[in-house]
């Protein structure tokens, strides 16, 4: 079976939502009974974004197999209910690394290695692999960046070649652009779109559909103009106005028949009428006016919300199914440690401390954990959030004043968090953490067991440090229960405070497995505890066909 491919390119500007749009179209194709997969081609030279600062690239999203990926993979998984693997993420760095390794092995038999064909062939091999390895009928492939970027050229050349190789009816090109708004004349302009399409055509790619993003409503005449200038059928020019509700985008695109247009382009007939009832229910619920709960998210990149995008979404999913709206208060951990903004902790109904690296802001996170414990405020600690919860407990309940993790204080006499044995002596920073899906046994009789309702779970990880077993017994004796352990009992995966309505931390990242159609039990439990604290009794009537199950 040939996997048909829909390619997504971007023009005019980056950051206009190409990933979300591709994911939304994936949802529409899936709703028509097709098996799909998605891939992101990132033109930067890093091998993966694992070593990139969140300031540069937002959150690092982790897959089951431990791949550290672009946050768009999170959009894909959430929007399309998929579990992706390393084949869904390709960077220039990986492509070059592979080609150069082969060259060193002598695989090219003395040939001269060039961008065309060696680099482009490797890109094409990887695009073909994502379809083959998943047996998907349709693969959606997003080229990161914008047309005209120097580093994007080999990718565009590769996808151009694929149209001929796979055949016209097996490929479709969707180009996403931006319509700037001119205040002086009060109009949206199409010229940058025209230019970006011209640029694309000069490479030999002729878009089949143009999605024109804009902050303002787009007049029909403008779409007609784009169609005419860019040589695209009128119905294939799709205006897409900015929406503050990501999950609404599939429905907006559905109303404009995007899936039908692409399917007919690919010579495919829908296998079934689109099954979007559950999705519509979810979007209606999100839009419905509901009681609000305020969650304090204490992190060091709080000015950049993209750094915590999966946590934000997981909170929203859980709130949706609890019948409330979540309002996130972004609390700067570095401010807290300077004594600034402490009163903000008093104003929230629950506290989340997400993952993080390095010492900046850690003392602020410890202050937040202390506040939550002492004031019985629901607390959810994710990875580093669990580690600071343990440090705080050791310091203030067990009296180990300098308890810490060597990540933040090399000289601590009480390393209650410590480097994992297999991490010692590792020098490379890239791809060397404990990454990806690992099993965990939930200990009976605990809050964790009540939330998960099952004994054995698997969650995604990304860390080097863990709870130090030398302190486990003392912590447990003082009421910090180790409620999730690796199957061999050696690694602490979850910890919870016994005398507290809801204070739990996990060494893994549950946020990566939360879906709008199936919220994660830890986040659901957290939001329910928040509602109880606020004495909100709300209930949601789920529609029958909302399975809440992933494929
Ligand atoms: N820095 C901590 C570690 O490496 C926590 C990592 C995280 O929060 N993802 O163990």
Which of 224, 253, 277 is the C-terminal boundary of a domain? 277
Judge whether 511 counts as a catalytic residue: yes
What's the 434 CA to ligand 1 centre distance in angstroms?
10
Say whether both 266 and 298 belong to one domain: no
Q: If you take atom 9 of ligand 1, which residue's CA is the nearest one?
A: 355
Q: If you take atom 6 of ligand 1, which residue's CA is the nearest one?
A: 463
What's the 508 CA to ligand 1 centre distance in angstroms?
9
Judge whether 289 counts as a catalytic residue: no
Q: Which two tokens stand for residue 54?
A: 């969140």
Pocket probe mutation, ligand 1, options 61, 311, 355, max atoms within 8 Å of Cβ? 355
Of all atoms in ligand 1, which is nearest to the CA of residue 355? Answer: 8
pLDDT at residue number 545: 60
Say whether both 59 and 206 belong to one domain: yes
Q: Which two tokens stand for residue 490?
A: 């050696």
Judge whether 230 counts as a catalytic residue: no
Q: Which of 80, 223, 383, 440 is catalytic?
A: 383
CATH, residue 78: 3.40.50.300
What's the 407 CA to ligand 1 centre distance in angstroms?
9
Q: What count of other Cβ atoms lies within 10 Å of the Cβ of residue 100?
A: 12
CA atoms within 13 A on the CB side of 274: 19
pLDDT at residue number 426: 64
What's the 370 CA to ligand 1 centre distance in angstroms?
19
What's the 112 CA to ligand 1 centre distance in angstroms?
43
Torsion angle in degrees (nearest 10) through CA of 179, 183, 186, 190: -20
Cβ partners under 8 Å of residue 439, min gap 6: 456, 457, 458, 486, 487
Q: If you take atom 1 of ligand 1, which residue's CA is the nearest one?
A: 357
Of all atoms in ligand 1, which is nearest to the CA of residue 407? Answer: 1
Judge whether 323 lies within some domain. yes
Relative orientation angle of helices 258-265 and 18-31, to the nearest 10 degrees: 80
Q: Which two tokens stand for residue 62?
A: 């982790």
Helix/strand/coil (H/E/C) assignment for every residue in 26-88:
HHHHHHCCCCEEEEEEECCCCCCHHHCCHHHHCCCEECCCCCEECCHHHHHHHHHCCCCCHHH
Within the chain, which residues score under 70 in pLDDT?
422-427, 429, 431, 544-551
Relative orientation angle of helices 92-105 and 120-134, to the nearest 10 degrees: 110
User: How many residues does the structure list for the chain?
Assistant: 551
- Nearest Cα to 42, choosing from 139, 142, 171, 153? 142
CATH, residue 345: 3.40.50.880
What's the 332 CA to ligand 1 centre distance in angstroms?
18
The pairing of beta strand 325-332 with beta strand 379-382? unpaired
Relative orientation angle of helices 220-230 and 191-203, to the nearest 10 degrees: 30
What's the 465 CA to ligand 1 centre distance in angstroms?
6
Say whether both 178 and 299 belong to one domain: no
Say whether both 194 and 108 belong to one domain: yes
Q: What is the extent of the structural domain holding 167?
A: 4-277
Say whether both 264 and 324 belong to one domain: no
Q: Which of 459, 509, 520, 531 is catalytic?
A: 509
Taking phi over 0 as left and psi of -120 to 50 as alpha, with beta for the rest, 12 belongs to left
Cβ partners under 8 Å of residue 171, min gap 6: 4, 5, 6, 7, 162, 163, 266
Q: Which two tokens stand for residue 362?
A: 């850690």
Pocket of ligand 1 (CB under 6 A): 355-357, 383-384, 387, 407, 462-465
What's the 479 CA to ligand 1 centre distance in angstroms?
24
Say whether both 43 and 91 belong to one domain: yes
Cβ partners under 8 Å of residue 239, min gap 6: 212, 214, 217, 218, 222, 223, 256
Q: If you take atom 7 of ligand 1, which residue's CA is the nearest one?
A: 355
Say whether both 328 and 353 belong to one domain: yes
Judge whether 457 lies within some domain. no
Of all atoms in ligand 1, which is nearest to the CA of residue 385? Answer: 8
DSSP state, residue 113: P
The pairing of beta strand 237-241 with beta strand 181-182? unpaired
Q: Which two tokens stand for residue 33?
A: 């009974």
**CA–CA dist 100, 115 (Å, integer):** 12
pLDDT digits (tens, 9 = 90+) for 437-484: 999 999 999 999 999 999 999 999 999 999 999 999 999 999 999 999
The separation between the first and the last C-alpha atoms of the chain, rounded to the nearest angstrom, is 21
What's the 298 CA to ligand 1 centre distance in angstroms?
15
pLDDT at residue number 539: 74
CA-to-CA separations, 323 to 189, 318, 401, in angstroms, rounded: 41, 9, 42
Of all atoms in ligand 1, which is nearest to the CA of residue 356? Answer: 8
Judge whether 437 lies within some domain. no
Of all atoms in ligand 1, which is nearest to the CA of residue 465? Answer: 10
What is the number of H-type helices and E-type strands within the chain?
Answer: 19, 22
Q: Which of 75, 157, 511, 520 is catalytic?
A: 511
Q: If you take atom 3 of ligand 1, which residue's CA is the nearest one?
A: 463
Q: Which two tokens stand for residue 101?
A: 């390794």
Judge whether 311 lies within some domain. yes
**CA–CA dist 352, 234 (Å, integer):** 47
Say whether both 201 and 304 belong to one domain: no
The kind and range of the H/E element at 36 are strand 36-42
Say whether both 46 and 155 belong to one domain: yes
Say whether both 99 and 194 belong to one domain: yes
Pocket probe mutation, ligand 1, options 459, 464, 468, max atoms within 8 Å of Cβ? 464
Q: Give the total number of structural domains in the chain.
A: 2
Of all atoms in ligand 1, which is nearest to the CA of residue 354? Answer: 8
Judge whether 125 lies within some domain. yes
Judge whether 353 lies within some domain. yes
Say whether both 366 and 410 belong to one domain: yes
Say whether both 86 and 188 belong to one domain: yes
Q: If you take atom 8 of ligand 1, which residue's CA is the nearest one?
A: 355
Which of 228, 245, 277 is the C-terminal boundary of a domain? 277
Judge whether 207 lies within some domain. yes
DSSP 483-526: EEE-TTS-SEEEEEETTSSSEEEESS-GGGG-BTTB--HHHHHH
Which of 233, 249, 277 is the C-terminal boundary of a domain? 277
What's the 400 CA to ligand 1 centre distance in angstroms?
22
Judge whether 157 lies within some domain. yes
Q: Which two tokens stand for residue 3?
A: 């996997």
Helix/strand/coil (H/E/C) assignment for every residue in 329-371:
EEEEHHHHHCCCCCHHHHCCCEEEECCCCCCCCHHHHHHHHHH
Of all atoms in ligand 1, which is nearest to the CA of residue 382? Answer: 8
CB 496 within 8 A of CB 446: yes
Of all atoms in ligand 1, which is nearest to the CA of residue 509? Answer: 9
């Amino acid at each position: 079976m040939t996997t048909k491919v829909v390619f997504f390119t971007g023009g005019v500007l980056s950051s206009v939502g190409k990933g979300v749009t591709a994911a939304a179209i994936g949802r529409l194709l899936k709703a028509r009974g097709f098996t799909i997969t998605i891939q992101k081609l990132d033109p930067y030279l890093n091998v993966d974004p694992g070593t990139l600062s969140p300031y540069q690239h937002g959150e690092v999203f982790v897959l089951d197999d431990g791949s550290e990926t672009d946050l768009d993979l999170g959009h894909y998984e959430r929007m399309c209910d998929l579990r992706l693997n390393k084949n869904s993420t390709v960077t220039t760095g990986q492509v070059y690394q592979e080609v150069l390794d082969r060259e060193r092995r002598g695989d090219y038999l003395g040939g001269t290695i060039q961008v065309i064909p060696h680099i482009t062939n490797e890109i094409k091999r990887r695009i073909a692999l994502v379809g083959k390895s998943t047996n998907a009928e349709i693969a959606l492939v997003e080229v990161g960046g914008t047309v005209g970027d120097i580093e994007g050229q080999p990718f565009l050349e590769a996808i151009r070649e694929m149209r001929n190789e796979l055949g016209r009816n097996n490929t479709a090109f969707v180009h996403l652009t931006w319509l700037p708004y001119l205040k002086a004349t009060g109009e949206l302009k199409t010229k940058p779109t025209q230019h970006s399409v011209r640029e694309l055509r000069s490479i030999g790619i002729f878009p089949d559909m143009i999605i024109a993003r804009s902050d303002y409503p787009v007049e029909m005449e403008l779409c007609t103009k784009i169609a005419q200038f860019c040589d695209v059928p009128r119905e294939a020019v799709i205006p897409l106005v900015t929406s503050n509700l990501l999950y609404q985008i599939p429905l907006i695109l559905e109303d404009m028949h995007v899936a039908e247009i692409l399917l007919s382009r690919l010579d495919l007939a829908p296998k079934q009428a689109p099954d979007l009832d559950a999705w519509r229910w979810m979007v209606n619920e999100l839009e419905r006016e509901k009681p609000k709960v305020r969650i304090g998210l204490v992190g060091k990149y709080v000015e950049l919300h993209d750094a915590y995008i999966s946590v934000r979404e997981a909170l929203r999913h859980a709130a949706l199914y609890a019948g409330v709206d979540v309002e996130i208060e972004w609390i700067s951990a570095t401010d807290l440690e300077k004594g600034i903004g402490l009163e903000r902790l008093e104003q929230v109904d629950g506290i989340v401390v997400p993952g993080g690296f390095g010492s900046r802001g850690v003392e602020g996170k410890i202050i937040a954990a202390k506040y939550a414990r002492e004031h019985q405020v629901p607390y959810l600690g994710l990875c580093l959030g669990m580690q600071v919860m343990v440090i705080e407990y050791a310091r203030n309940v067990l009296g180990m004043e300098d308890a810490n993790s060597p990540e933040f204080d090399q000289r601590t006499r009480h390393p209650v968090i410590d480097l994992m044995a297999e991490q010692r002596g590792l020098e490379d920073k890239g791809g060397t953490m404990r990454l990806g899906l690992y099993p965990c046994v939930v200990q009976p009789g605990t809050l964790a067991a009540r939330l998960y309702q099952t004994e054995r779970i698997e969650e995604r990880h990304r860390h080097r440090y863990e709870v130090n077993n030398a302190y486990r017994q003392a912590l447990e004796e003082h009421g910090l229960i180790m409620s999730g352990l690796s199957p061999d009992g050696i690694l602490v995966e979850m910890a919870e405070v016994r005398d507290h309505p809801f204070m739990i931390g996990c060494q893994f990242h549950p946020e990566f497995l939360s879906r709008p159609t199936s919220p994660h039990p830890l986040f659901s439990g957290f939001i329910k505890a928040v509602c109880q604290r606020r004495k909100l009794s709300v209930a949601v009537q789920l529609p029958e066909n909302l399975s809440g199950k992933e494929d």
